Amino acid sequence: MESINMPNIEPIIHNFLQGKSTPDEDKILYLWVKENPENRKTLFQEKDFWEASRLGTQKLNEAEFNHWFELQDKIIQQNKKVNRLKEVLRTAAIVILSLGAGWLGHSLVSSGVFANKQIEMKQVESFNGQLKEIFLADGTHVWLNSGSKLSFPSGFNAENREVELSGEAFFEVTANEEEPFLVKTQDHIVKVTGTRFNISEYPESNIIETTLEEGRVKIITGNFIKDLYPGQQSSFNTRTAEIRIGETDLEVYTTWKDGFYEFNNESVCKVFKIIERWWDVKIDYPEKDLKDERITGTLRRHKPLDQHFDVIKRLVPFNYKIESDLVTVSLK
């Protein structure tokens, strides 16, 4: 097959991104993408710039979104960064990857800096059944767990480099000693100058956990300020205002972003909460009877839900029934 030149492919890319391409054009585009890995990079790059230019748009039109998935499913997924990614990150906060239970999608949060250079607060929500990766305007990389929200400014400056979190997120913060990065939760502030760390603060829990993998952060709660070092975790009880800091197993608190959750002597009730968020189901279970039960194991997002329940019920004897998005658990 003859190589397809960029001048000829540009109109097809343009039509495809608008959802107006014909089946023949889709075939040409697919063959062009397969021909060279660089072509795939170009397509994703053009898609990012095209989306970013759609001022005020929060998501693609449903038809266009489905159109994108149809072609994307045919392309071998690669986790390579595009050449002009840094250029995009200077001007927009982009959600580059959304991982749900069995599906793959792309979405973009458009930035107010395109329109009027003013700083605006944006929000990304990772619904139950989803994991999302986000690049903020300063290059900070964020993994957002299921059932979580992240609010952030469309641009960063010396006076404005802070985000607000509800739920759980893993941060890889771009180093900047002169402009610290702040993560605010309802009762907590984490001050960062460049590091990798995890924060868990779900509304139904009264515990805020900050786990540091690399670098150093400051935990700020009222008048309490404490440095956290690699391998340490702070645990703040929002009811009693008690703070505990100690060594911890990093894998237990950070591997969820890679698609599996390790737990060691964990409450069955907490494991059920994680399952509800990750698989977007409701679990009806006798909480009073199971509140003292603790288990050790691993949840894997790519495994079917019933396989996990088959394993858990070997550790804690119970019966279960899965009907659509409802799991009913009863004691034997």
Give per-residue pLDDT as tens, 278-291: 999 999 999 999 98
Task: Please report which residue ranges of 53-128 form alpha helices under DSSP H.
Answer: 62-72, 85-89
Give per-residue pLDDT as tens, 249-274: 888 889 999 888 888 899 999 999 99
- What would the two tokens of residue 2 be? 């003859």
* pLDDT of amino acid 184: 92
- Is pLDDT above 50 for 326? yes
Q: How many CB atoms lie within 10 A of CB 321?
A: 11
Q: Rounded to the nearest 10 degrees, how much is the dihedral formed by the CA atoms of 259, 265, 267, 268? A: 70
| Mean pLDDT across the chain | 76
- Fold classification of 259-331 is Phage tail protein beta-alpha-beta fold (3.55.50)
Domain spans, the chain = 1-81, 84-257, 259-331
Asked if 155 and 137 count as a contact pair (C-beta separation under 8 A), the reply is: yes
Q: Rounded to whole angstroms, how far apart are CA atoms 126 and 219?
A: 25
Q: Rounded to whole angstroms, how far apart are CA atoms 281 and 326?
A: 6
What CATH number labels 84-257? 2.60.120.1440
* pLDDT of amino acid 44: 64
pTM exceeds cut of 0.95: no
Q: How many CB atoms lie within 10 A of CB 117?
A: 9
Residues 33-57: what's their mean pLDDT?
59
**Of the listed ranges 72-81, 277-286, 313-322, the one predicted with least confidence:** 72-81
Q: Rounded to whole angstroms, how far apart are CA atoms 33 and 74?
A: 10
